[in-house]
Structure 1
């Protein structure tokens, strides 16, 4: 016999949970004290959205479900943006929310909302725990479904009266993850024939190529066959951008050289590609390309993404099979000139009198970071520059949200990354996204973490301004005013820097990233 809240925490321990990110609440009292007595570290944060973003990035970096916790009502509604982000970015996450006693849920009552139905569109599965004896099954199911390909978010609601009950159930042991079978022979044969018949085949590496740890097999395939590779923004690093085959990402290059390669390609092998990442209408507008879909799930039905062959199986096993069947094809020579221009563009450093820009800061940032260091990008105009112009050499070292693409993920994501990894962590954000969750700097300092925050400041919601000007020739509703970010950083007890020359940008970034301390570097944009 044990308390239900103790049983739930023991189930979390069985799942290997190290951290629970969240905010305390009255309805969570029993669960919080059960966490205190466990091996799990509860990390109180400053906003529930930050907690969900931390769990989201933890899941994406480790492949193990991150866990976030919030109370009922506004706690749960604040949590939902980060949960939705994990859902569309295919990041394993388990959300737990408190709830009032069951005796008051049939009527209108203080802070009570139907959270289970509210979460339904943004999770793979969710449930209210109404019977304490079902806790082991509920927790095991939440983690199993969150981590099963394609991963995503799940949710459990835990009423306070259930948490206080005595229960006789025992922890349900974990089991190895379910694996998809190898690809079927007929589909492999058809895919091989299509690639060999193509004049300019190309690999499109998506989120799944990184998420499934299939990067090593993809690199082996690319090196064996000799095809060029273009990554989506979330597929960066699946193939090293040092390889001659790499054309970086969609839209990389001074005048969209990567996009021109997509235009010329007559056969696209889409590996782990989610159409939520990047609309295929942009690279298959005429629907005339041969498409081979390689993923754990069948392709979404969409007129611009209607694959000729679908290899629905374990991605790594599928890539191995293709490598064994394919001979070397024409090779990346048909687009080698494009790569040269892309590499020259992304590596060019600014002239001394050139105004500050995100694009020209990135070569200095890339030089200051080791191959295995992790860059986490917030959402905004700087994200587009990072996606297109920041070379990535290892999988999961450039974290970009491009499913839900919610602003505010960077600083919470930096906390999750610094807790999970031994490498240096850099957070890149705009002034707009930064202030959405900047309070989490206090969480980071409380945990004695050390990572670098780079704030690109244009006093504007710059990406929206750019689009407005592009469409209408003018902008409205996007201008901002900001605090002194150096003073703001110092108020948290961390270093703040605002370099005024490109030489100072270079040295400041090098010193900050090499440091074990929290450092904020503001880059004021022209």
Structure 2
């Protein structure tokens, strides 16, 4: 006989899960002991929110669902933020929480709320585990998590469940293969071909679903065959090189008005795996027809935009139709496209001798190897990263744009290093993000993870300050501190290297990347780098 805890952990091992992130409780100890025996590592985090973010990034980089745990009540509510991130950033994770024993559910119990109700809007599936349904529930949960569109599932573990004995089983579960999307129907492919051939200035708008579909090669081939520009959503960075002559920029982020100079000329928008969770179509599209290639219909106001053609099914199959056509009579001025793009990147270059956020990112891009992974928090710096950070391939820049939670970058970098131990990993976050997740430095130190944490210190919630300025409001409560903060030599045992100039910053970065274990680089940057480049008009 084995216990419920033994069986659950054995099934996680069979799925290829190597880590469970969380903060333990008394009832979780049975599962932790089973993990110790099976060689699955429990990663103790400082806040359960981070556990959800780490599980999310683990899935993004490995393709295996991430796993996380929180105790009943406050642990579960903390975890909810990380689970919400997996929902809107489209990552398959399994979130476990303790629950009151079945006989106490619905009663007044210390710390207890209805956690099934809590997680229902945050997940694709939620249930409570029972001894007789372990295998069935886990298999179903994983299948739902990885099915299109990927997302989180939640399994409640009654607090008295772990030590219950269950019969040994000869069965095993395997990580399901995501179902291949079906070929779009003949009528939609006919409309795709006809509308495309009738257009003269189509634009490809590439989103998050295209990344999952590994459609990059066909996107580039389509653009090249027909001489048409490509714009990306922030989380689709890496699908086409920034140096490609048909690359036109990233929607929503810095200098979005420069990107709009291109797509506003379009007479047709082709959304390729475009997920509006990052940026709604209506917020930027000109009033032209839309062809939407994805596994789900376009989420768009069809009164404002009545000319919408949904081509539902395999994105690659739809793109293959376009690549097989004779080149259309494209009226795009490709020289002007390249000039606009080059001018946009030039406008994002740091001023000579300056040390603001642009210089910090530019120098970091020089120092970080091309296959290195950069994660970032959420704030004004994210808008710069979205446009100016050169991303050689998907998965080398990791952000949260669907959920957009401050503090994401630090736990994301920890998970990235655990998932890809041979890669250089760096996190870029503001000092506001550090204040939210400073406790996770303990995790990086405990695991001896060689991660460089670049903290852009400007003592301000810059994104909110800029929004106050746009509305002509006075700056109110956006200062993080009124005086110079003390220069600590370490935070929770993680050494801190300080930089106040570009030359000093480059030197300490090189030192940080050659150091074993985590290092914080405190970049005391000049202000003003965001003022004229972010929060620009999209139309």
Alignment of 1:73-472 (within 5 A): 73-129=73-129, 131-168=130-167, 170-250=171-251, 256-284=257-285, 288-303=287-302, 308-325=308-325, 327=327, 329-330=329-330, 332-333=334-335, 335-346=337-348, 348-352=349-353, 354=354, 356-421=355-420, 422-472=422-472
1:486 and 1:498 in contact (8 A); partners too: no
* Cα offset, 1:164, TM superposition: 2.1
2:380 and 2:463 in contact (8 A); partners too: yes
1:210-248 alpha-carbon deviations (Å, 9 max, x no partner) = 233322332333233332111111111111112111122
1:461 and 1:479 in contact (8 A); partners too: yes
SS in 2 for 1:289: coil
User: 2: CA distance between counterparts of 1:68 and 1:255?
Assistant: 36
Change in 2 beyond 3 A, CA 1:254/1:50: closer
Alignment of 1:50-89 (within 5 A): 50-89=50-89
User: 2: CA distance between counterparts of 1:482 and 1:394?
Assistant: 41
User: 1: CA distance between counterparts of 2:279 and 2:213?
Assistant: 19
Change in 2 beyond 3 A, CA 1:36/1:458: same
* Cα offset, 1:380, TM superposition: 0.7
2:426 and 2:452 in contact (8 A); partners too: yes
SS in 2 for 1:98: strand
TM-score, normalised with respect to structure 1: 0.93
1:247 and 1:342 in contact (8 A); partners too: no
* Cα offset, 1:254, TM superposition: 5.3
1:76-126 alpha-carbon deviations (Å, 9 max, x no partner) = 111000100110111111101112222222310111111111111111111
**Alignment coverage as a number of residue pairs:** 520
* Cα offset, 1:62, TM superposition: 2.4
1:25-77 alpha-carbon deviations (Å, 9 max, x no partner) = 01212212111111311111111011111011112222321111111111111
User: 1: CA distance between counterparts of 2:395 and 2:295?
Assistant: 19
2:15 and 2:173 in contact (8 A); partners too: no
2:233 and 2:252 in contact (8 A); partners too: no
Partner of 1:33: 33
TM-score, normalised with respect to structure 2: 0.91
Q: Which runs of 5+ in 2 are unaligned?
A: 528-539
1:252 and 1:259 in contact (8 A); partners too: no
Q: Which runs of 5+ in 1 are unaligned?
A: none
SS in 2 for 1:439: helix
Change in 2 beyond 3 A, CA 1:158/1:416: same
User: 1: CA distance between counterparts of 2:62 and 2:489?
Assistant: 29
The range that moved more, 485-494 or 336-345, is: 485-494
User: 1: CA distance between counterparts of 2:307 and 2:297?
Assistant: 10
* Cα offset, 1:299, TM superposition: 1.8
User: 2: CA distance between counterparts of 1:89 and 1:247?
Assistant: 24
1:293-327 alpha-carbon deviations (Å, 9 max, x no partner) = 11122222434666622122122333233322352
User: 1: CA distance between counterparts of 2:485 and 2:493?
Assistant: 13
What's the C-alpha RMSD, in Å, of the aligned pairs?
Answer: 2.2
1:450-471 alpha-carbon deviations (Å, 9 max, x no partner) = 1111111121221111101111
Question: Which one has the bigger helix percentage?
Answer: 1
